[in-house]
Amino acid sequence: MQNARDRLDKILARLAARKADERVFLKIYAHEARAAAAASDTRQGAGRTLGPLDGAIVSIKDIFDVAGEPTLAGSVIHKHAAAATTDADVVARLRQAGAIILGKTNTTEFCFTSEGINPHYGTPGNARDPALIPGGSSSGAAVSVAEGTSEIAIGSDTGGSVRIPAALNGIVGFKPTASRISRRGVFPLSPTLDSVGSLARTVAACAAADAIMAGDAWQDFTPLPLAGMRIGLPPRVMLEDLDDDIGAGFSSTLDLLGRSGATLAACPIDDLLRDMREATSGASIASVEAAEIHADWLLRDDGPVDRRMAEPLKRRLGFPAWTYLRMIRARNELAAAIDARLRAFDAFVAPTLPIFAPPIDRVVSDPAFADLIEALLLRNAQIANQFDLTAISLPMPCRGGSAGLTLVARNGKDRRLLQLAAGIEKLLAA
């Protein structure tokens, strides 16, 4: 493998060549990255290492504080905000582990919406076809990994914001249990639902990033054998409106899992999903909490902000506090109920998304179509956030485009889920 400085120089040259039309990165730390790469190479030459991320080229979503600069969160109204005084905990831990922080990646404004569209800084084209949406909100994060301008990307996941773009770009995206990784210095969308996740080409790389960010001591990472694993089949709602090719790919994957010795059985959670839909029918938890976070500028009604974010949040400003509190109480009760049901399984599986990436132009020009795509992208992915679970999306072989296989497991079972995912990753690769 090339040393860190050589790998970094190739990426920086590629980014310099497209500087006039850069949409994946909002900021590039070329000088600092070269210094970090040189330090890593020196350690490697001396036979020393800071761990599994020493010398890894890492991008961070534009919601993580970096000392000395404002955190834009994909918005122009933050350009003149106060500079962060310290790095986010996640950024500090990555640096301490020897990771090379290359730059900040593009995101949908304030992490709202799931297609990956940003009207202010441009929309990163999907790595497989730049005419297609990248998915969001961690759009630049996913594209940077899929196109090879970073080796690991750090994003956030509130309703699928890591796993949606991972699936659409053909890479791995991991959402940990929300409380696992510190969110100090991370611009919030929904404090109840937000989590800090990782994107990479392999499960092992996501596992390494997750361990470093969580402050865990690194342990050797080995895939779990699939024989005897208890895999739950998805509830009906997660299989509705499936693209035919995605449905065929999922059926083939289930067949592979069965022949590998895994036990497949129905996962009886349909009623809990229905109850969650009823509990949040008046408004999503994310939209109510985001309205509180952004209330000052929403009330002033000033500044250029994406209407697809501003308009629904304005409607939430009058959402009754008692209704919100009841919604949170119901959510906590349902999270406990699903945890009890999932004890019988190591994970349940489903297609990450029911559709392939549609064209950017149509999403931008057709509001009704954009709303339909938004709902379809969020439908399966948001379940893990709503019920406080851990989940991962793996590339799922199928015709027609990039698709994902999602595995969802109980709160706190992050490492076991990653090891199970690595076993399935190996199976799918073979």
**DSSP states of 4-70:** HHHHHHHHHHHHHHTGGG--SEEEE-HHHHHHHHHHHHHHHHTT--SSTTTT-EEEEETTB--TTS-
**182: annotated active-site residue:** no
| 3-state SS class at 354 | coil
How far apart are the C-alpha atoms of 253 and 195, rounded to whole Å?
28
Given the residues 161, 190, 260, 287, select the one marked as catalytic: 161
**175: annotated active-site residue:** no
Share in percent of the chain as helix, strand, coil (round to 5) = 45, 15, 40
The DSSP element (H or E) to which 173 belongs, if any, is strand 172-175
The answer to whether 62 touches 26, Cβ cutoff 8 Å, is yes
How far apart are the C-alpha atoms of 145 and 142, rounded to whole Å?
5
**61: annotated active-site residue:** yes
Tokens 């029918």 label which residue?
Answer: 281
Nearest to 378 by CA among 111, 115, 132: 115
How far apart are the C-alpha atoms of 168 and 402, rounded to whole Å?
5
The answer to whether 185 touches 89, Cβ cutoff 8 Å, is yes
How far apart are the C-alpha atoms of 232 and 410, rounded to whole Å?
12
Tokens 């895994």 label which residue?
Answer: 262
Given the residues 61, 104, 175, 413, select the one marked as catalytic: 61
For 190-229, list the strands marked E by DSSP: 196-200
Nearest to 118 by CA among 78, 80, 156, 74: 74
The pairing of beta strand 196-200 with beta strand 152-156: antiparallel
Cis amide prior to 251 (ω within 30 degrees): no
The DSSP element (H or E) to which 311 belongs, if any, is helix 307-316
How far apart are the C-alpha atoms of 25 and 135, rounded to whole Å?
15
Cα angle, residue 120 at apex, residues 117 and 122 outer, rounded to 5°: 55
Nearest to 259 by CA among 233, 226, 230: 226
The DSSP element (H or E) to which 246 belongs, if any, is helix 244-259
Q: Which residues are catalytic?
A: 61, 137, 161
